[in-house]
Structure 1
Amino acid sequence: MKLIPCIEMLYKAEHPGFTDRFRAAQADGFDAVDMWLWRDKPMDAVADAVAETGVQVFSLCADPRASLVNPAEHAAVLAAVRDTVPVARRVNGQLKGAGAPARIILASGFAMPGVAEAEQRANIVAVLREAARIAADGGVELLLEPVHMVIGGHLMAVHQVRQGLDLVEAVDHPALRLLADVYHGAVSGETFAQAFADRTGLVAHVQVADFEGRHEPGTGALDWSGLLPLLRQRGYTGSIGLEYLPTLPIDQSLALTRRTLGL
């Protein structure tokens, strides 16, 4: 399993310039990185950095974010996916015929008070089916990410890996897979075994950070000794994303992470 640093967090202290983080990742032996939103980034310069270094963008977020739960925002969701498809392909290297499929991340948005859970779930499934069709037509893959976030007393509708897997199964489209974030799972109270169960074939990316604090693995309360053996046992052969806030200089942080994960 290869490691993929999220350059929104890693390398940020050492390299305030976003594109410089591609060069730093290359120097550390990485061939791909994760990023978040793209409209606030110098995407021409990002594409140049990808071409220069060979470090591709493994995943980025549909931009702008919009709610999968609220049908009033579904047009915005689909427009964001359409707009993000060519951007994702450009910085992934697909336009030159290289690399794995570009991946676009979607989160559910916040649950709607007073709306039945079954109705909210149906809303999510409906828009994801259309979004997956758009993604497939564009040659990219969507990643649904369960996120445990509470703002103003409102929790994200999809905040557990189990929920996300249920939705991916319900949509039943090859262009939709799950991004399983171990940190958000821990905030939700899921164990590794509960989170992944026997459905790792639906998971295309796993991101890690320790709990609490969202720092590098080995700095918190989670027992990491079983994660990779569990994933391997259940057939996961994908990547491990490093989406954490470093507490150490980057070389020491990466060394601690590798020791803790056993990679």
Structure 2
Amino acid sequence: MQLAACIEWMFADAGTDLAARIRAAGAAGVKSVECHLWRDKPLDAIEAALRESGVRLRSFCVDPRRSLADPADHDAVLAAIADAIPIARRFDGAAMIVASGFTRAGVPEQDQFDAVVAVLKRAAALAEQSGTMLWLEPVYMVVGGQRMFVDTIGRGLDIVAAVDSPALRLLADVYHSAQTDEALGPAIKGRIALVGHVQVADTDGRHEPGTGSIDWTQVMSALREEGYRGEIGLEYFPTLPDAASLDAARKALGLAG
């Protein structure tokens, strides 16, 4: 498995300039990077850095973020995805990441599930027609007592299966999953074909794998047993200088060397 790095959090030794961080990632042997929202990014400079370093932009977040669980937001969701598609195509098919939005108080769970599936069917059709890819990311977050509607890998996979499109896959974030006490192995068992990408960080603290309580040997064994061959995205806040942080993550994940 190869590594991808969240360029907004990693390679900070190169400074605040994202293009410089991309070059640093390439020099360290990391061939894919990821970023969050795209509208505030220096896209021309990023594109030049990617080209010069031989690094690929693996993914970015659809911007602005809107709720998949609320039908009142669906037009805005689709408009944001339509805006993101040219960016995905510009950057060699970088995947477009969406999250569900928060649960809606007083609305039956099935209604919210159906709303997410309905809008993602339309969004996936847009992506498929354009030759691009969407990733649904379960996110653990609580605001005002409301959790994100999709905050576990299991529910995310249920939704990806219901949408049933080759243009939609799950971004399985091990950090967010662990926040819900979800067991990764059972969550992905028999459904790894629906997983497009995996991201990692340890809990608590969201730092390098190996700094917290997650059993990374168990995580990596579960992924291998299910046949995952994709990249592992490093989406954590480093506690060490660039080289040492990358080395520590590789060792914890059993990907050293």
Scaled to the shorter chain, the TM-score interval is over 0.9
Aligned residue runs from structure 1 range 112-123, under 5 A: 112-123=104-115
TM-score normalised to structure 2 length: 0.97
Q: Does 1:260 align with 2:252?
A: yes
For residues 250 and 106 of structure 1, the distance between their equivalents in structure 2, rounded to whole angstroms, comes to 28
SS at match of 1:194: helix
1:140-196 superposed Cα distances (whole Å, 9 cap, x missing partner): 110000000011221100000000000000000110000000000000111221332
Aligned to 1:129: 121
CA contact (8 A) 1:161 1:195 kept: yes
Q: CA deviation at 1:27?
A: 0.5
Aligned residue runs from structure 1 range 2-151, under 5 A: 2-92=2-92, 101-151=93-143
Aligned to 1:196: 188
Q: Does 1:242 align with 2:234?
A: yes
SS at match of 2:166: coil
Q: CA deviation at 1:208?
A: 0.5
Displaced runs of 4 or more, over 6 A: none
For residues 19 and 136 of structure 1, the distance between their equivalents in structure 2, rounded to whole angstroms, comes to 30
For residues 150 and 136 of structure 2, the distance between their equivalents in structure 1, rounded to whole angstroms, comes to 9
1:192-229 superposed Cα distances (whole Å, 9 cap, x missing partner): 21332221110010000011111000100111112222
Provide the identity percentage: 52
TM-score normalised to structure 1 length: 0.94
Which residue of the other structure, out of 129, 154, 169, is the alignment partner of 1:177? 169
CA contact (8 A) 1:57 1:88 kept: no
Q: CA deviation at 1:12?
A: 2.9
Q: CA deviation at 1:138?
A: 1.1
Aligned to 1:157: 149
Aligned residue runs from structure 1 range 196-235, under 5 A: 196-235=188-227
CA contact (8 A) 2:67 2:100 kept: yes
For residues 176 and 77 of structure 1, the distance between their equivalents in structure 2, rounded to whole angstroms, comes to 15
Number of aligned residue pairs: give it.
Answer: 255
For residues 192 and 25 of structure 1, the distance between their equivalents in structure 2, rounded to whole angstroms, comes to 28
SS at match of 1:16: coil
